[in-house]
Structure 1
Amino acid sequence: MSQATQGKVPGGSFILEGAGGPDFSRIVTPEDFTEEQRMIAETTEDFVEKEIAPHDEAIEKLSYELTVRKLRAAGELGLLGADVPEVYGGLGLDKVSSTLINERLAKASSFALSVGAHVGIGTLPIVYFGTPEQKRKYLPDLANGRKLAAYCLTEPSSGSDAQGAKTTAMPSGDGRHYVLNGSKQFITNAGFADVFIVYAKVNGEQFSTFIVERGMPGVSVGPEEKKMGIKGSSTCPLILEDVKVPAENLLWEVGRGHLIAFNILNIGRFKLAAGTLGACKETIALSARYANERQQFGRPISSFPLIGKKLADMAIRTYALESMVYRTAGLFDEGLAGLNPGGEGSGLASAKAIAEYQIECSINKVFGSEALDFVADEGVQIHGGYGYIQEYAVERIYRDSRINRIFEGTNEINRLLIPGTLIKRGLKGELPLLEKATALQAELMEPMPARSFEDTLEQEEHLLSMAKKIFLMVGAGAVQRYQTKLEQEQELLAGLADMMISVYAMESALLRARKLLSSAGEEKASRAVAMTTAFVHEQFALVEGWAKEALASLAEGDVLRTQLSVLKKLTRVAPVNLTKLKRGIAAPIIAGEKYIV
């Protein structure tokens, strides 16, 4: 039975839906958080304020002892066990709750990265793919922080090409263990981790996954890397020399390591986006506070319109990101509904449910990492010269932000995956991509009279619909022109990815504003409506530009002129007063000195 027939939303289907997208009552927004979820968020914030902030400088200087002690304190509070089933010593929380923890930990800077590597890519491979014996052995200690985990995929000669790894695992003659040899690079938490999830090729060929313990003979860790940012997190090479790993420490099956890696990276990408959301919010608060304190020409710089515009632009991107992140967390919870987290084979079923949304995971990762880079850069600019000084937190946020576009698969790799995965799913019949594209071809030949819009967000809903049609028009042309060779046209695929990212972001913002309008009314939804309006109009202009660039690479002469005339019909828009909108968005942020919806 397909997800659609079960009432669940198929991954990637957002690009094929009608003007308004799915029913907004189905999506999860921050306004929907339960009291319990809000308490989890507050507990996380209190932990950061009381346990991490006072030791921030020492953690940033990379104190293993302090980081480990604080990780264990987080474990005692339950912050490390959110995604571990209760039967194995965790809390077994819903994905919205665990996402809230991720977001609120972001203020802990490098420490948040140490937590993220442990609870996400370090622990989840055992949660999803471990045998009952492996789960009983490792998960309780990982959930409470008695043991800490690291994820070991990257090698000196293989980054995004994970299956190009050279680390080997040779089975012993008696079948009781595997002998691992090789090295892994850029391993977060390597300096103090007890458990390593290691990828190696059995017999030099079959890409597989192993649980390796620090105390096993032949395991060693190289020196700390000297990094641009995230200096308070441990990043070392892991060296494996004739390490005898018991056969029972093989994770899942020989030759299935790529499936573990890809599924775990999906989750890692989503969790990374949640972290960038928290950092965006912190940067807005720091910048608004500084803008109110900094006096120039006899008044606070927050009173100057261009500073207000910067804060508004920072908030608009953050609002879109927040809408995307919790919409996606809600999709996960919906997809995981009905699965027994402790039952036989439940881990793999859970991983498959999350893999359903691999397109959305990559979209969140790319948008979130690039939104934070923008927000951090503007934050430094608002601080002026002081933004370049280390005693100001925004300087570190700027440096720490840069790694996110490289972590969990570079943004370039993720951009190739987004349309590539959609096309593969369409060809397999999992999504009606071909049917939608065919129907659109006939529609585009019909006259498209100009429309007028009167209701709140009516024009923005129309622009979203047009953006989806533009993507389908360009995508169909790309498939028709290049067919099986399309994967070699990386610039074109990246443009298609940008359109898909914008559509998901626009739709998430629009659905959230629609939902808030329905439940709270025009006045309480006014800020969400303003940010949605500004975001949709600016993104739509970008979509038009990407489409023109793509069409020019697909055709020329009369064919190109015909396609551009069709595009012109799809991109008719009445401009809005962005200056007025952004001044209204900035005012409460300046007054409250924080991100506000």
Structure 2
Amino acid sequence: MGATSEARQVGGGFLIFDSDPALVVTPEDFTEEQRMFAETTRAFLEGDVLPQDEHIERLDYELTIRLMRKAGELGLLAADVPEAYGGLGLDKVSSTLINETLAQASSFALSIGAHVGIGTLPIVFFGTEAQKQKYLPDLASGAKIAAYCLTEPTSGSDALGARTTAKLSEDGKHYILNGSKIYITNAGFADIFIVYAKVDGTQFSAFILEREMEGFSIGPEEKKMGIKGSSTCPLYFEDVHVPIENVLGEIGKGHLIAFNILNIGRFKLGAGCLGGAKETVALAAAYANTREQFGKPISQFPLIGKKLAEMNILTYVLESMVYRTSGYIDDMLKNLDHADAEAGKQSAKAIAEYAMECSINKVFASEALHTIADEGVQIHGGYGYVQEYKVERIYRDARINRIFEGTNEINRLLIPGTLLKKAMKGELPLMERLEQLQEEVLSYSVAEGDGPLVEEEQLLSQMKTLFLIVGGSAVQKFGTRIEEKQEVLSHLADMIIQLYAGESALLRTKKIVERFGEEKADLAIQMTRVYLREALQVMEQRAKETLQEAASGDVLRTQLSLLKKFTRASSLSTLALKRDIAASVIKSERYIVY
């Protein structure tokens, strides 16, 4: 498997091709301009948002609106809106960095995130020229606030099962909407609503609604476990007359908008989780240094250090994944002409290319933050369970991330499902790669070479081969029935996630070594070594269970024997590495890479 420049352009290509570190975006590549946007965001948080934190958490609509408009004045709502429509038209790396930095604002970050992401982007990517001219300048400035309305009482993960209907009026000038939506973020104060309904009960379509439209009403605030400072309400439509010029995209093609906007939402959620992870590492490390038990700070106890090391490692891997993916999406969208009549179709195709990577980011990020927040509370002990300490809120707020933007269970089904569809369409040479596999397996040998990450490169290669063996066996056994084998699909998804995560960390670390030298890259090298070995263990467990489901008898025994060949790793004390990593985190009292 040789490196290829084409691999960056193909969604799912990381499973087949070697990736060139030079073609992967990492935080070390940030420009001064990109860092400036992060600093602007941080200054806004520290000066305007965090001092009002308690009031925001009490769901003060007027305060949230005022702060969102201040964010608009600073350009923080305009990153993804093209300049022609009052935005900044920034690259996706910049908007990701803004999104990550905002995460410290908790519920307020969600309010902004829903507005700039799933609320505004449907018009950016799929709106007509007239719709963009009418709505985007106000959305970019914060004069108007947006909400995205997909979920219904009887259709959560089954979005296309929506029952809200739309019927063309007799005069042909309006669509008349009837139905309801639930769990709509920003509903209490939003002005513009992206609403999905079925025309004549069958054609799933998208519409732009305005708050003042007659027959449109908003229900009471939900009482939530977390994200208490964000607005979450149901919506009701009773003969709401929506002008035909407010149809978004094409009638019957609403799924192209819904699913692709969800893909972007999944990726953006990953960036928000990254910001939360970094904050939690800093809070936990600082607390561990000040909290004394048995005559010394608890940071000096090895079990606390191990937790901090593992939190830092997960954050490093997540950061590597998020910015790698941002680079991919940026490449696909940077040349998009938003004024082109075909912009919607081009956007859908571009976003769909990395649908699998977006789902990977969403699942990994939400579960990584859950683990990190949980350990953050544990390090705080009883104090972590009281509201005086921020880690308590981070823990509660983090729980929604595994439900938002499609549950993690749904995304685990989508990951291998998307891969197989791309292969069947000829968009990814997966079947050809599987045909080459048998010969490679028989002639397999451990590669030799010099450098600090040679074995990690070998481990990654083993992981790719392992996935192809197991995935190929499952497809061969179940054929088209594999869609019914949800446990198998989930296991394959976990293997794919570990591969993308491990490779993202390895590629980034290789860039750090090349740019700064081995000494400065030492911590990154250690984290990569630990993560890849533990990822291989996860893959081995998933592989065994999948093979046991797909085979039996002599065939299974042969496959399990082959499995051992590709799950070997040299003896290395990951505990010793984690002690070194912990020492760096404890000393710096923050998330640290070098």
Does the TM-score normalized on the shorter chain lie above 0.5? Answer: yes
Structure 2 residue 319 is the aligned partner of structure 1 residue 322: yes
Q: Deviations over 1:203-227 (max 9, x none)?
A: 1110000000000001110010010
2:309 corresponds, among 307, 312, 335, to 312
The match for 2:423 is 426
Q: How many Å apart are 1:346 and its aligned residue?
A: 2.9
Checking the alignment, whether the CA contact within 8 Å between 1:110 and 1:231 is kept in structure 2 is yes
Letter of the 2:380 partner, please give it.
H
Checking the alignment, whether the CA contact within 8 Å between 2:125 and 2:338 is kept in structure 1 is no
Q: How many Å apart are 1:580 and its aligned residue?
A: 1.6
Q: Deviations over 1:540-595 (max 9, x none)?
A: 11111110111111111211100001111111211211122111111121111100
Aligned positions of 1:132-281 closer than 5 A? 132-281=129-278
The match for 1:13 is 13
The match for 2:490 is 494
Structure 2 residue 48 is the aligned partner of structure 1 residue 51: yes
The match for 2:332 is 335
What secondary structure is seen at the aligned counterpart in 2 of 1:187? Answer: strand
Rounded Cα–Cα distance in structure 2 between residues aligned with 1:5 and 1:455: 23
Rounded Cα–Cα distance in structure 1 between residues aligned with 2:199 and 2:462: 50
Give the root-mean-square deviation of aligned CA atoms: 1.3
Aligned positions of 1:383-532 closer than 5 A? 383-446=380-443, 448-449=444-445, 455-532=451-528
What secondary structure is seen at the aligned counterpart in 2 of 1:244? Answer: strand
Q: How many Å apart are 1:449 and its aligned residue?
A: 4.7
Checking the alignment, whether the CA contact within 8 Å between 2:483 and 2:489 is kept in structure 1 is yes
1:357 corresponds, among 330, 350, 354, to 354
Rounded Cα–Cα distance in structure 1 between residues aligned with 2:543 and 2:559: 10
Rounded Cα–Cα distance in structure 2 between residues aligned with 1:5 and 1:310: 38
Structure 1, unaligned runs of 5 or more: none
Q: How many Å apart are 1:294 and its aligned residue?
A: 0.3
Rounded Cα–Cα distance in structure 1 between residues aligned with 2:162 and 2:447: 56
Rounded Cα–Cα distance in structure 2 between residues aligned with 1:101 and 1:451: 41
Structure 2 residue 537 is the aligned partner of structure 1 residue 534: no
Rounded Cα–Cα distance in structure 1 between residues aligned with 2:111 and 2:241: 27
Letter of the 2:516 partner, please give it.
A
Q: How many Å apart are 1:41 and its aligned residue?
A: 0.4
Q: Deviations over 1:191-250 (max 9, x none)?
A: 000010000000111000000000000111001001000000000001111100001000
What secondary structure is seen at the aligned counterpart in 1 of 2:176? Answer: strand
Rounded Cα–Cα distance in structure 2 between residues aligned with 1:569 and 1:284: 37
Rounded Cα–Cα distance in structure 1 between residues aligned with 2:22 and 2:134: 42
The match for 1:125 is 122
Checking the alignment, whether the CA contact within 8 Å between 1:8 and 1:334 is kept in structure 2 is no
Rounded Cα–Cα distance in structure 1 between residues aligned with 2:147 and 2:306: 41
The match for 2:556 is 560
Q: Deviations over 1:502-527 (max 9, x none)?
A: 00000000000001111110011111
The match for 2:576 is 580
Rounded Cα–Cα distance in structure 2 between residues aligned with 1:34 and 1:22: 23
Q: How many Å apart are 1:304 and its aligned residue?
A: 1.0
Structure 2, unaligned runs of 5 or more: none
Letter of the 1:464 partner, please give it.
L
Q: How many Å apart are 1:450 and its aligned residue?
A: 5.6
Checking the alignment, whether the CA contact within 8 Å between 2:495 and 2:539 is kept in structure 1 is yes
What secondary structure is seen at the aligned counterpart in 2 of 1:209? Answer: strand
Q: How many Å apart are 1:5 and its aligned residue?
A: 9.1
Rounded Cα–Cα distance in structure 2 between residues aligned with 1:286 and 1:457: 31
The match for 1:589 is 585
Rounded Cα–Cα distance in structure 1 between residues aligned with 2:28 and 2:569: 30
**Normalising by structure 2, what TM-score?**
0.98
Rounded Cα–Cα distance in structure 2 between residues aligned with 1:9 and 1:293: 48
**Normalising by structure 1, what TM-score?**
0.97
Q: Deviations over 1:225-284 (max 9, x none)?
A: 010000000000011111000010000110000110001000000000000000000000
Checking the alignment, whether the CA contact within 8 Å between 2:69 and 2:143 is kept in structure 1 is yes
Checking the alignment, whether the CA contact within 8 Å between 1:167 and 1:182 is kept in structure 2 is yes
Rounded Cα–Cα distance in structure 2 between residues aligned with 1:121 and 1:587: 40
Q: How many Å apart are 1:428 and its aligned residue?
A: 1.1
Checking the alignment, whether the CA contact within 8 Å between 1:8 and 1:335 is kept in structure 2 is no
Letter of the 2:237 partner, please give it.
L
Structure 2 residue 77 is the aligned partner of structure 1 residue 97: no
Q: Deviations over 1:130-167 (max 9, x none)?
A: 00000000000000000000000000000111110000
What secondary structure is seen at the aligned counterpart in 2 of 1:173? Answer: coil
The match for 1:34 is 31
Rounded Cα–Cα distance in structure 1 between residues aligned with 2:391 and 2:548: 41
Rounded Cα–Cα distance in structure 2 between residues aligned with 1:124 and 1:495: 32
What secondary structure is seen at the aligned counterpart in 2 of 1:524? Answer: coil
What secondary structure is seen at the aligned counterpart in 2 of 1:523? Answer: coil
Rounded Cα–Cα distance in structure 2 between residues aligned with 1:451 and 1:507: 17
CA change 1:581–1:8 in 2 (3 A) is: closer
More deviation, 145-154/300-309: 300-309
Checking the alignment, whether the CA contact within 8 Å between 2:7 and 2:14 is kept in structure 1 is no
Rounded Cα–Cα distance in structure 1 between residues aligned with 2:487 and 2:7: 36
Rounded Cα–Cα distance in structure 2 between residues aligned with 1:487 and 1:540: 25
Aligned positions of 1:61-100 closer than 5 A? 61-100=58-97
Letter of the 1:39 partner, please give it.
M
CA change 1:296–1:8 in 2 (3 A) is: closer
Rounded Cα–Cα distance in structure 1 between residues aligned with 2:524 and 2:222: 43
Q: How many Å apart are 1:23 and its aligned residue?
A: 1.0
Q: How many residues align?
A: 590
Rounded Cα–Cα distance in structure 1 between residues aligned with 2:436 and 2:49: 56
Letter of the 1:15 partner, please give it.
L
Q: How many Å apart are 1:454 and its aligned residue?
A: 5.3
Q: How many Å apart are 1:174 and its aligned residue?
A: 1.5
Q: Deviations over 1:161-186 (max 9, x none)?
A: 11100000010111100100000000
Letter of the 1:458 partner, please give it.
V
What secondary structure is seen at the aligned counterpart in 2 of 1:522? Answer: coil
What secondary structure is seen at the aligned counterpart in 1 of 2:166? Answer: strand
Rounded Cα–Cα distance in structure 1 between residues aligned with 2:557 and 2:423: 29
Q: How many Å apart are 1:351 and its aligned residue?
A: 3.5
Letter of the 2:482 partner, please give it.
L
Checking the alignment, whether the CA contact within 8 Å between 1:450 and 1:572 is kept in structure 2 is no
